Amino acid sequence: MRHLRGGSKAYPQSYPQIVWMGDWAIIQLNKILWSVGLFTIIQAAGWPIWPLLICSVVALALVIERMMSLRPLLVAPEGLVEQALKASHDNLPSEEAMQQLHDNSVLGRVLASGLHAMKDEPLISAEDLRSSMESAGRQAAHELEKHLVALATIASAAPLLGLLGTVIGMIDIFGSQAPGTSNPVQLAQGISMALYNTAFGLIVAIPALMFWRYLRARVDAYVLGFELDAERFVRHLLAMRARLK
């Protein structure tokens, strides 16, 4: 069971990580809002700010989930390639060793795909061996990029949602002014709604964009490392097979 820090809920291990991360983010955001009195601001901003609050919670959960999932220990542990080269120096390792390599990390799955391809077809050509590992590499890259599209969408949509709140606030301002009369209360309320939504849209979008660019660069670095390690491993397997002939 996973227990949320600062909360009483517990989730089974089978629950997706994003579920309990999202719940944790909601709990923490609620504490922050109460501590700094932001609920007063939210009430003044009106209903257009609620979509922005939802975006902020989702973005926070996505960032935490990706930061945890993209740790080097889970993606490309240091020294894993050398261990795989050593294990297959003289011959293909056992099925148990291949499965351990596959379950080790994302990079381990890419390397294990080459071992399985050569085991299933000992006379496999270099092109087919590379193609097999490239397919595993594409699957690994897709796994690393999970949720990044959603984070980029939030970074793009948050300013537009803030602009929507601004437009609604301006509509309230002009709609409250009857010909020849003036309502200062409604005027101030409309201006505050417009400004609060604009500011909150930028507050959500700027960190989301920064984290998206950071995580995107991190994934690109991992994928480049996969390509280099896979090519090195392919040459090693072909050389090992040539020695055994």
User: pLDDT tens across 61-90, in order?
Assistant: 999 999 999 999 999 999 999 999 988 888
Q: Record the tokens describing residue 13, joined without a space.
A: 């291990």
Task: Report yes or no on 197 lying in a domain.
Answer: yes
* Range name among 2-6, 108-112, 132-136, 145-149 with the lowest pLDDT average: 2-6
Nearest to 197 by CA among 35, 43, 22, 29: 43
Alpha-carbon gap, residue 200 to 195, rounded angstroms: 9
State pLDDT tens for residues 218-240. Answer: 999 999 999 999 999 999 988 88
Q: Would you say the C-alpha torsion 93, 96, 99, 101 has a positive or negative sign?
A: negative
In which residue are the tokens 């006379």 written? 123
Distance CA 211, CA 61 (A): 12
Within a domain: 3: no
pLDDT digits (tens, 9 = 90+) for 106-123: 999 999 999 999 888 888
In a domain, 25, yes or no: no
User: How high is the pLDDT of residue 8?
Assistant: 45
32 within domain boundaries: no
Q: Considering the domain boundaries, does residue 152 fall inside one?
A: yes
- What is the distance in angstroms between the CA of the first residue and the CA of the last residue of the chain? 52
How does pLDDT run across 156-182, given as a tens digit for each residue? 999 999 988 888 878 777 776 666 666
Is 12 domain-assigned? no
How many domains are contained in the chain?
A: 1
Residue 122: φ, ψ to 5°: -55, -30
- List strand residue ranges (DSSP E) for the chain, in order: 2-3, 10-11
Residue 5 lies in a domain: no
Q: What is the DSSP letter of 195?
A: H
In a domain, 30, yes or no: no
**Which two tokens mark 200?**
């909150």
Distance of alpha carbon 7 from alpha carbon 19, whole angstroms = 14
The boundaries of the domain holding residue 100 are: 37-245
Closest C-alpha to 233, from 93, 57, 96 = 93
pLDDT at 45: 66
With beta carbons less than 8 A apart as the criterion, state whether 48 and 161 touch: yes
The reported pLDDT for the residue numbered 168 is 82
Q: What is the pLDDT of residues 10-69, one digit of tens each?
A: 545 554 555 555 566 566 656 655 555 566 666 666 777 889 989 999 999 999 999 999
